[in-house]
Every structure is written in C-alpha cells, then in structure tokens.
Amino acid sequence: MESMKLFKWIQKQFASWMKKEDEVQSLFLKELINATKRDKDDPNGHLTIREAESIIVQILLAGNDSSASTMGSAVAELARKPDMQIFLRENPDRIPDFIEEVLRLESPFNGHFRKVKKEEGITLHGQHLPKGTRVMLLWGSGNRDEGYWKNPEEFSIERENRRSHLSFGSGIHSCLGQKLARLEVKVVLEELLKRTQNIEIGQTSGKLKYLNSTFVRSLEKLPLRLSIKQK
C-alpha cells in the first residue's frame, strides 16, 4: 500500500518536473526527462515515462529499505555474539569482513523476478526454461548453497570467498549503490562499537520476528540494551 502511494506521488512529481524542466536542479532527473524525449532508436538511450518513474522509485526504495535492513541484521548479529564485539573493537579493520558475512546470511532481499531473454531459452539443472519464462531468483537461498559455501549456515568472517555472495546481484543487474550501502553500514557499526561496552538483545517475547514478505528480509523491530562507554 505504501509503495503504491509512493509510486503515485512519483508519477505526479515527474509530470510536474517535465512541465517545469528549466526549474529542475538535479542532473539525474534532467537526464531521465531527456531520455523520455529521445527517439526509440537514439544511441543515447530512450526511456518511456513509466520506465523513468520506475527508476526513481527503485533508487528511493533500494537506497533506504535495504541499507536499514542490513544495519538491523548486522547489529542483531553483534548482539548475539559478545566475543565478536570484543574482536571488532580491537580489530576495526575487520568490520568490512563482518558486513560481508551478514550480507551473505541475511540478504536484505530474498529474491527478485527475472525473465529468460535468450531466444533459445536456457537449461538449468536439467530443467529447460524457454524464452519469456518468468522465474524468481532466490538470492538468500543461493547465499546458503552448500554446493558453493563451506558450512553455509555457520557465521564466519574468515571465508576467502566472502564477497562472492549474491546480495547485490551480479552482471548488468549489480546494485548501483552497493559501495554506498557498505559504507553506511560500516559507519554505523564503527560508531556503535566505539561508543558501547556491550550490546545485547533487549526484552522480547521470543525470537526476533521478520517482516512477512516474499521479497525483503527485514526485522519488524530490534529491541537493544546498550552499555555505554564512560568518558
């Protein structure tokens, strides 16, 4: 429901930006507007208005929900592992490795739909998928594939292939904001570890609950009990 409200707002705003293009300050928005005015065979690329609106929605959603979800998962993992907290306070240069393992085990997106584009289709594990077949790629499942990962259910920051997870996609579908996302989570963890002596899960009636969603992996809430360092 909230996503639909956002999309309708973007549609209204984009129509306004197109009418008042001279007042638009963002180079990104200007390029999107220009792309909708180009011919379909223009080498610089053409976008329909709907495609331009979808790109804006994608940038807004991907730059907020996924980063927040990863931060929550990372802090929850720290709270469950007091020894890891001590290690990372003493070795802050290993925080990026910790983040990669969080991304592997707790991918902020469970998966996305894709369509087979090859004319001849594609065969995966003996199953032929003709062109146009709609499939859902499960990043979270791939990140725990025992055929690729050693002890996939185990949390370890010592994995040599730790950056080979699928949480940021791959190829032409690689996440454009992955460097920013990693930096955001890194800064949050650095500051949290710097300012606390201990991080624990706060009062809860049981296991932490995740949103009931096919696509996203995000905690409903994360109660914490923090022991603040004395200055």
Q: Which residues are annotated as a binding site?
A: 175
Q: Which residues of 196-223 are buried (b: 16+ CB within 10 A; e: fewer)?
A: beebeeeeeeeebebeeeeebbbbeeee
Query: What is the DSSP secondary structure assignment for residue 117, as one 8-state letter?
Result: -
From the annotation, which residues make up the binding site for heme?
175
The tokens of 121 are what? 């289709």
Strands 111-115 and 134-138: antiparallel
Q: Which residues of 118-143 are buried (b: 16+ CB within 10 A; e: fewer)?
A: eeeeeeeeeeeeeeeeeeeebbbebb
The residue among 6, 118, 107 whose CA lies nearest residue 53 is 6
Place of tokens 């003709």: 130
Residues in the chain: 231
123 strand-pairing partners? 128
One-letter amino acid of 35: A
